[in-house]
Structure 1
Amino acid sequence: MSTTATSQPQPIAEDHHSLSAREERQVVLASTLGTLFEWYDFYIYGSLAVFMSSVLFPPNNPTAALLASLGALAAGFVIRPLGAIFFGYLGDLLGRKVTFLMTVVMMGGGTVLMGCIPSYESIGHLSWILLILLRLVQGLAVGGEYGGAVIYVSEHCVPKRRGLLTSWIQTTGSAGLMLCLFVILATQASMSAEAFRSWGWRVPFILSLVLLVISIYIRSKLHESPVFTRMKADRRLSKNPIRDTFLDWGSVRTMLIALFGVTAGMGATYFTGQFYVMIFLQQVVQIEQTLVYKMVIAGFLIGAPAYVFFGWISDRIGRKWVMIAGLLLAALCYRFLFGALLEAGNPGLVAAMKHSPVTIHASVDGDVCNARMSAALVGSHPDNKKACVLARKLLVSRGISFSYAAPVQGTDVAMTVGGTTIRGFDAAAYDSALTQAGYPSKADPMQVDVTRIVLILIFMTAMVAMVYGPVASYLVELFPPHIRYTSLSFPYHIGAGVVGGSLPFLATFLSISGGNVLTGLWYPVVVTSVTAVIGAQLLPNINKARDNKAS
C-alpha cells in the first residue's frame, strides 16, 4: 500500500529484529500501562456524568443537564481529529516518544483539574464552561496518544507478531474504563451516598495525579522507535507531514477508505458494546449503579482475552475479514441484545409495557411536540419547557417506551396508561398513574438476572474485540512510516471520536425523540452495516507478504 498511498519517495524498509524477547515485552508493557492510565483519565468523566450533571450544570432540568453532560463528553471526542493532526505532525517530525510524553501530561493534568471545578451554585455558568474546556484539552491529548502507542509498539516488533502485540494496547480502552469503575466503587464504599453525590465524585479525578506521575516515569524510560531513528539518520523524515498527508490524493484516498471501511464502524461498535451499554443499564433498565458497574467489570474481565485472541488470529489469516465479520455481527445483534438486557434486568418494566402500553396524545408533525437538538444541550432552551417534551423525557428517563396518538382536544399533550388519561403534563400525576399500571420506579434487585446480563456483556466484548483487536496493526500496515503518525491517527480519531464518541448523546436523544428506548440503537446498526459493506469492497487485505516490504 505504501507504493500507492502517497506520491512521496518510497519509505525505507523497517528493521523489526533489533529487540530481544525481553526487550519486546518491556516495550509492550510500558506502552500498554501508559495508555491504560490515559484512558482511565478520559473515561472517568463519562462514568460520572450523572453525578457531574447535577453539580456543574443548571439544576432546573435534570434530563437536559444529563444530555448536556453527555454533549460535553461528545465534545472531547469530536476534537480528537484535531489532536490527531497536531500530534501526528509532531510525531512524524520530532519522534514518537516525545509526542506521547506531551499527551500524557495534558491528559492527566486535565483530569486532576476537572476534579477541582467549583459547582454551578458557586460560580454559575463558568462551571460547565471550564468543564468543556478541559474536555477539549483531553480530546486533543487522546488524539495524539493512541497513534503514538500503537506505532511505537509496531515499529519495535516483527510483522508476524504485530497483531498479537498491538492487541494488548487495544485492551487498554476497556481496561481503563474498568479501572475507573473500580476506583469509583471503592470511593463510594468509603463514604455515604450523599457525600459521594455532593463531593466524593471528585476523588477519582484527583487520584489521577498518582497515575500521571507513574505514566510520566514509564514514558521517560522508553527509547525512540528504531524505525524513526533510522529514518532520521538517513534523512528520510517528512519535512511537512501535514502537507505530505493531506495534499497527496493517494494518501487522502487511503485515509478515506480506512475511515469509511473500518474505523467508523469500529467507533460505533466499541462505544455501543463497552460504554453506551453501561448508560443503558442505568438509565433505561433502571438497575442500581453499583450493580451495573460490577456486572460491566465482570463482563470485560472475562471477555478481555478476546482482544488478544483476535489480534493473534489476524496475524495468521489476515485482518480484513476478521474486522468485517465483527462489524456485521454487531449490526445484526445489537437490537436483539439490548432488548435481552432490558428483559433480564427489569422484567417488571417489560411486562408493564406489554400489558399496559403508554400513549402520548400530541401532534408530532407540528412544533408543539418537537424539540431541537440544541434544546438537549441548553437547559434553559424554550423547547425544554414544552409540555409534550417534558412528558417524553419523563417516560424515557424511566425506561418506558410509548406510542403516539391523535391529540386530545383542548390540550397540547395527554398521556394514557392503564385506561387512565391525564390531560396536560403533571409529573406527579404521571408517576402515580404509571405506578398504578404496574410500572416499577427501579429494577427489583431480586429479579435482575445477573448471569444472563454478564453473558451478554461478554458476547458484546467479543464482538468489539473482533474489530478493535486487529485494527491497530492493520492501520500501521496501511500507511508508510514517514507520515504514519499523522495518516493513521486522523481516520482512527474521526471514527472513534466523532462517530463513536457522539454515540451516547445521539442514542439518548433519538430514544427521547422516537418514543422507544431502543430507537437510539439504529445509529450504531446503520453505521456498522454501511462500514462493513464499504470495507468488504474497498479495504485491501494486507497479508504477511505485504509485511515483508516497507509498510
Structure 2
Amino acid sequence: MRKLPNAGPVAAEPTIELQRKVMIAATVGTVIEWYDFFMYISVASAISVNFFSGDNPVWANVFALLTFGTGYLVRPFGALVFGRIGDMIGRKQTFLTTILMMGFSTVAVGLVPSYASIGLWAPSILILLRMIQGLALGGEYGGAATYIAEHAPQGRRGWLTSWLQTSAPIGFVLSMLSVYLMRASMTPEAFNDWGWRILFISSVLPLAISVWIRLKLQESPLFLKMKNEGTLSKSPIYDTLRVLPNLKRVLIAMFAMVVPQSVLLVGAQIYSLVFLTGTAKVDPQIASLLVGAALMLTLPVMIFFGWLSDRYGTKIFILAACVIGTFTYLPLYKALTFYANPALYTAQAVVPVTVAADASECSFQFNPVGTAKFATGCDIAKNALIRFGAPYSTRSEAKGAVATVFVGARAIPVATTGQAPDVAAFTGKLQHALEEAGYPSRADPSAMNFAMIILVLAALSTVAGMIFGPLASAMTDLFPPQVRYTSVSFSYHVGNGYFGGLLPAIAAALQISSGDIYAGLYYVMVVSAISFFLGLFWLQSVPAAAKVESVATVAA
C-alpha cells in the first residue's frame, strides 16, 4: 500500500491581479486551440476537394477511418501523454507545448500541397497534422483547467474556471464567423482553391499573441510546492487508472459530470446546426449565424453558473440540467422546426408518409465513419425521407417486394421490379411528390422567426451551461493535485469523444430506423436520465469552495 503524500497548503494566496492574469492567459490560449481545431470542420468541403480523390475508393475509406480515429482516439491518448508530463514536469510548460503544437500544425495544414500536386502524400500529411492537433487538444483543456484552479482561492474557483469553459463555444463561433466572412469576400471557386488556406496560415498571429502571454506566466504554486517537497507522482497514468480510489473518481467525473455535459452541449450547439441545415432545410450560412448568436448570448450563463457553484456546489446544477434536458429537449426541437420552417412543420403534421418494404432490407444505419453503403430499396427510401425532413411510418411487405414510398395516396417505387434502384431518379420523383404535398425544399427566410429561433437555441445552451459552466471547477476539485492534470484530461476527453462526439451518427441512425426526425433526441434524453441517477448517488453536495485540495490522497 502506498500513498501519494499530502501536498500541504500553499503558502500564500495569489493576488486578485494574478488570478485574473492566469485566467485570461489560459482562456485565450484555449480559445485559439479550439478555433484551430474547429476550423478544419468549418472548411471540410474545401479540404475534401483539395486532399481526397474520388478515383480511389479504397484509399478514401482508409483516410476516412484515420480521420475518425483522430477525432475519437487521439484526443484521449493526448490527454494521457500530456497529463503525465504535466503532473511530472509542470503545468505551464506542458500547456505551452500543446498550444505550440496546435498552432504550428494548423498553419502547416494551410501549406500542404493538394492531391493533384503530390498524390497520396497530401492526405497522408493532412491526417498526420490532424493527429498532432488531436494530441495537443487532448492535453490543453486539463492543463488550463488545472492551472487556473490551482491559482484560485476558496470561493472563487468556480467563477474563475467558468471563463475557461467559454473557450470552446467562442472558438467554434470564431471559426464559423471567419469562414463566413472569407466565403462572402470571394467566389466559391476561389475559396475552394486558395481562400481556405488563408484562414489556416493567418492563425499564426493569434498563436504568437497567446504564446507571448503564456511565456509571462509562472508555474502553479501548488505544483512547485509538491516538487520542492518531493511529493509528485512518479507514475501519474498508473495512479490515475490503476489505483482504485482515483479510478472511482475518474468514473464519477466521466459518467456523472462529463457525459451529461457532453450530450447536452453537443445537442445544443453542434447537433442543432446539423438539424437546422439538414432536417429544417435552413440555409447553412443563416443557420451558422443563428447558432453563433445564441452561443454568444448564453456565454454569461456559463459564467453565472460557475459563480453559483462557489456558493451551492455543482451537484444541484448537474442534477437540474439532467432533469430539464430530459424533459425539454424534445419540445424545444419541435419549436425549433416550427419557427425555422413553419411550412415543413405543418406538412409533417398533416401529410402521412409510409415506407412499404421487405423488412429484411431495412438496416439500422449507424455510420459514424461515413464509409458504409446502404443500397437496398428500403434503406434508400428511408435515407432520402430523413434528408427531406419527412417523418414516416414503416409497413412490412412480402419478401422481395419493391420498396415503395407513399406520400398520402401517391406511390413512388424505389425501383422497377427486377431492376436495380436508380437512386437519382427515385430521389427526384420523391422530392417532387413531397413538394406537391407541402414539404418545402428549403426554408423560406421571410417566414422564419429569427428572434424565436435564437431564443430556443439559447434555451438549449442554457441547460447545457448549467453543467458546463462549473465543470472545470468540479473536476479539478475532485482529483488530488499529484494526478490532477492526467485525471481531468482523460475523463474530459473520453467522456466527450465517445458520448457527445457520436451523437450525430447515433441520431441519424435512430431517425432513419424509426422514421421520427426527432428520434436522435431520445439518446440525449436517456443519457441525461441515467446520468441524473448516477449523480444523485455519486456526487457530493459540498460546494467546491468548502474543500481543501491538500487533503486528497490516493492509495495504491
TM-score, with normalisation over the residues of structure 2?
Answer: 0.89
Q: Is the 8 A contact 2:98 2:140 kept in 1?
A: yes
When structure 1 is superposed on structure 2, of 214-223 and 114-123 the one drifting more is: 114-123
Instruction: Give the Å deviation of 1:57.
Output: 5.1
Map 1:295-374 to 2 at 5 A.
Answer: 295-364=290-359, 366=360, 368-370=361-363, 373=366
The residue that corresponds to 1:496 in the other structure is 496
Residues 1-57 of structure 1 show CA distances to partners (whole Å, capped at 9, x for unaligned) of: xxxxx9523422242744222222111111110011111112223334455456655
The residue that corresponds to 2:513 in the other structure is 513
The residue that corresponds to 1:550 in the other structure is 551
**Aligned-partner SS, 2:155:** helix
Instruction: Give the Å deviation of 1:196.
Output: 3.2
Q: Is the 8 A contact 1:318 1:541 kept in 2?
A: yes
Instruction: Give the Å deviation of 1:341.
Output: 0.7
1:407 maps onto 2:408 in alignment: no
The residue that corresponds to 2:442 in the other structure is 442
2:468 is aligned with what amino acid?
A: Y
The residue that corresponds to 1:427 in the other structure is 427
Q: Distance in 2 between matches of 1:327 and 1:297?
A: 24
**Aligned-partner SS, 1:443:** coil
Instruction: Give the Å deviation of 1:111.
Output: 2.6
Instruction: Give the Å deviation of 1:421.
Output: 0.5
When structure 1 is superposed on structure 2, of 189-198 and 172-181 the one drifting more is: 189-198
From 126, 137, 142, the equivalent of 1:142 is 137
Q: Distance in 1 between matches of 2:365 and 2:295?
A: 36
1:451 is aligned with what amino acid?
A: A
1:183 maps onto 2:178 in alignment: yes
Q: Distance in 2 between matches of 1:436 and 1:253?
A: 58
Instruction: Give the Å deviation of 1:203.
Output: 3.6
Residues 360-411 of structure 1 show CA distances to partners (whole Å, capped at 9, x for unaligned) of: 11123x1x2225545x6354x5x33333322222222222222211337864
Q: Is the 8 A contact 2:365 2:513 kept in 1?
A: no
Q: Distance in 2 between matches of 1:186 and 1:43?
A: 16
Q: Is the 8 A contact 2:388 2:431 kept in 1?
A: no
Q: Distance in 2 between matches of 1:228 and 1:547?
A: 15
1:8 is aligned with what amino acid?
A: K
Q: Distance in 2 between matches of 1:194 and 1:523?
A: 39
Q: Kindly tell me: are residues 372 and 461 of structure 1, through their superposed partners in 2, closer, same or farther at Cα, counting changes over 3 Å? A: closer
**Aligned-partner SS, 1:421:** strand
From 214, 219, 241, the equivalent of 1:246 is 241
- The alignment yields a C-alpha RMSD, in angstroms, of 2.8
Unaligned stretches of 5+ residues in structure 1 = 1-5
When structure 1 is superposed on structure 2, of 298-307 and 355-364 the one drifting more is: 355-364
Q: Distance in 2 between matches of 1:198 and 1:509?
A: 34
Q: Is the 8 A contact 1:16 1:158 kept in 2?
A: no
Instruction: Give the Å deviation of 1:413.
Output: 1.4
The residue that corresponds to 1:480 in the other structure is 480
2:200 is aligned with what amino acid?
A: F
Q: Distance in 1 between matches of 2:54 and 2:126?
A: 16
The residue that corresponds to 1:235 in the other structure is 230
1:173 maps onto 2:174 in alignment: no
When structure 1 is superposed on structure 2, of 422-431 and 201-210 the one drifting more is: 201-210
**Aligned-partner SS, 1:362:** strand
**Aligned-partner SS, 1:377:** coil
**Aligned-partner SS, 1:406:** strand
Instruction: Give the Å deviation of 1:452.
Output: 0.6
Instruction: Give the Å deviation of 1:352.
Output: 1.7
**Aligned-partner SS, 1:541:** coil
When structure 1 is superposed on structure 2, of 167-176 and 120-129 the one drifting more is: 120-129
Instruction: Give the Å deviation of 1:116.
Output: 4.7
The residue that corresponds to 1:3 in the other structure is none
**Aligned-partner SS, 2:355:** strand
Q: Distance in 2 between matches of 1:242 and 1:92?
A: 9
From 279, 288, 294, the equivalent of 1:284 is 279
Q: Kindly tell me: are residues 136 and 371 of structure 1, through their superposed partners in 2, closer, same or farther at Cα, counting changes over 3 Å? A: farther
Instruction: Give the Å deviation of 1:357.
Output: 2.3
The residue that corresponds to 1:396 in the other structure is 386
Q: Is the 8 A contact 1:17 1:158 kept in 2?
A: no
Instruction: Give the Å deviation of 1:527.
Output: 1.2
From 368, 374, 397, the equivalent of 1:384 is 374
Residue identity over aligned pairs, in percent, reads 38
TM-score, with normalisation over the residues of structure 1?
Answer: 0.90
Q: Is the 8 A contact 1:45 1:73 kept in 2?
A: no
1:504 is aligned with what amino acid?
A: P
1:316 is aligned with what amino acid?
A: R
Q: Distance in 2 between matches of 1:215 and 1:418?
A: 59
Instruction: Give the Å deviation of 1:118.
Output: 5.6
Q: Distance in 1 between matches of 2:190 and 2:378?
A: 35
1:539 maps onto 2:534 in alignment: no
Q: Is the 8 A contact 1:49 1:70 kept in 2?
A: no
Q: Is the 8 A contact 2:14 2:153 kept in 1?
A: no
Q: Distance in 1 between matches of 2:107 and 2:258?
A: 30
When structure 1 is superposed on structure 2, of 236-245 and 462-471 the one drifting more is: 236-245
Q: Is the 8 A contact 2:358 2:400 kept in 1?
A: no
Q: Distance in 2 between matches of 1:155 and 1:285?
A: 45
1:225 is aligned with what amino acid?
A: S
Q: Kindly tell me: are residues 44 and 547 of structure 1, through their superposed partners in 2, closer, same or farther at Cα, counting changes over 3 Å? A: same
When structure 1 is superposed on structure 2, of 37-46 and 163-172 the one drifting more is: 37-46
Map 1:4-15 to 2 at 5 A.
Answer: 8-15=3-10
Q: Distance in 2 between matches of 1:342 and 1:468?
A: 26
1:370 is aligned with what amino acid?
A: S
Q: Distance in 2 between matches of 1:520 and 1:74?
A: 23
Q: Is the 8 A contact 1:300 1:461 kept in 2?
A: yes
Q: Distance in 1 between matches of 2:75 and 2:28?
A: 21
